[in-house]
Structure 1
Amino acid sequence: MLKEFWESAPTSYKVLVFGAMGLIGVGIILNLVGNTTNNRDLAMASLAVIGLGLVLHIVGIVVRGQTIRKNLKR
């Protein structure tokens, strides 16, 4: 099911998934750098980047759900 959905998934879903993973990854790296260098502002800013990645992830789940629902109605 997952492999079939990914192959037929809309481009917007794929962009959301990779964008969310990228933002979460960058946020984690920024958080590690901020905490190891005792740069509190960078560590706090990284939380916003991680949060944006999580929001994009939720949007991707909604897009996937709508696509599956649309396909089931056919």
Structure 2
Amino acid sequence: MLTEFWATASTAYKTLVFSAMGLIAVGMILTIVGNTSGNQGLALASLPVIGLGLILHIAGLVVRGQAIRKSLKR
């Protein structure tokens, strides 16, 4: 199921998934760099980046759920 879905997944879903993973990774890197260097502003600025990544992840789940619902109706 997973292999088939990824092979037939829409471009919007794939874009959301990779964007979410990228933003979460960048946010985590900023958090680590900010905390190890003692830069509290950088550490705090990373939180909205991680939050946006999580929101995109949820949007990807919605897009995937809609695609699965459409395929089950057929």
Does the alignment reach a TM-score above 0.5?
yes
- CA shift for structure 1 position 29: 0.2
1:62 equivalent in structure 2: 62
* Structure 1 residue ranges, 4+ long, deviating more than 2 angstroms after superposition: none
Identity of aligned residues (%): 70
**Alignment coverage as a number of residue pairs:** 74
Q: Aligned-residue CA RMSD in angstroms?
A: 0.3
1:9 equivalent in structure 2: 9
Counterparts of 1:17-36 in structure 2, within 5 Å, are 17-36=17-36
1:42 equivalent in structure 2: 42
TM-score (structure 2 length as normaliser): 0.99
For structure 2, which runs of at least 5 residues remain unmatched after alignment? none
Cα deviation code 1:26-56 (max 9, x no counterpart): 0000000000011111000101100000000
Secondary structure of 2:38's counterpart equals coil
TM-score (structure 1 length as normaliser): 0.99
**Distance in 2 separating the partners of 1:38 and 1:48:** 19
